[in-house]
Amino acid sequence: MRSFTSLRYAAMYALLGFGFTSTCWAQANPNQAQQANQQDAVKQNAAVNSRGVYTYNGINQTPWFNNPNIREHLQLSDNQFQQLNRNYGQAWNRYNQNLSGLDNSLEEQQRLQRQQELSRTFHNDFSQSVNDVVSEPTARQRYNQLHLQYRAYGAFNDPTVQQQLNLTPAQRQQFNQYDREWNRNMTTWHSDYPSNSAAVLKRFNESRAEYQQRVKSTLTPEQLNSWGELSGKPYNFAPDAYFYDGTTTKEKAAPALR
């Protein structure tokens, strides 16, 4: 029978050998290794419903302000960034838990409505916590502006935005339809991004450009002026603000939303 010491050394060498083999595999197969890391990142970002299906509703586990360029643009200090991350994580956990607890018997329309309610609750809860972290008025205003731009059509489902723009029932219904389409596409793109990022980014940027035309055709000139004041100067979001893989993307920034 082998001694305890010999077994311990055998286990140690096995672990070392596994680590060496894994490292060599990653070096020899950089594309596959990168793809595996991206797939892990997508899984970490996933919010799943009661059917175990990833559902995008404008909310990722990775905060939108986690992008280094956005963080710099907002001039967030280390303390502010860390506190926002903690608050965001707590709000996201509650959102994901509620989403996964949706009744499987809900009809499609009921499910969509409930998902939108959960999304609004998430944004409302986290927004209140932001006030305690980003208290300077100008900085808070810019944060709000970028957040509205980032949310795309989802911003027009916000009751405050609806009230300030005085959206008609027909306009609300139109934006709601656009938002459902956007979320369906984003659900697919999140899944496809690790294996086919170029195709996803092409379609994603096309949809961002399409967004601008849809907003202009849906809002009146007066409403467009009000929206411009609410959303502020357009910001070019890099794709990794939506499809985060743990690094800053070198891809072309998405068209600024207006």
Q: How far is CA 144 from the centre of its chain?
A: 16
Model confidence at 40, pLDDT cuts 50, 70, 90, reads very low
| Matching residue, tokens 């609300």 | 172
pLDDT tens string 110-150: 887 888 888 888 988 898 889 889 999 999 999 999 999 99
HSE-CB of 236 using CA atoms within 13 angstroms? 7
Q: Pick 233 or 51 by higher pLDDT.
A: 233
Lowest-confidence region among 52-61, 133-142, 185-194: 52-61
Q: Pick 177 or 45 by higher pLDDT.
A: 177
The 3-state DSSP class for residue 255 equals: coil
Domain ranges for the chain? 46-241
CB 140 within 8 A of CB 134: yes
pLDDT at 244: 60
CB 47 within 8 A of CB 95: yes
In whole angstroms, give the CA distance from residue 84 to residue 66.
Answer: 10
| Matching residue, tokens 């499910």 | 111
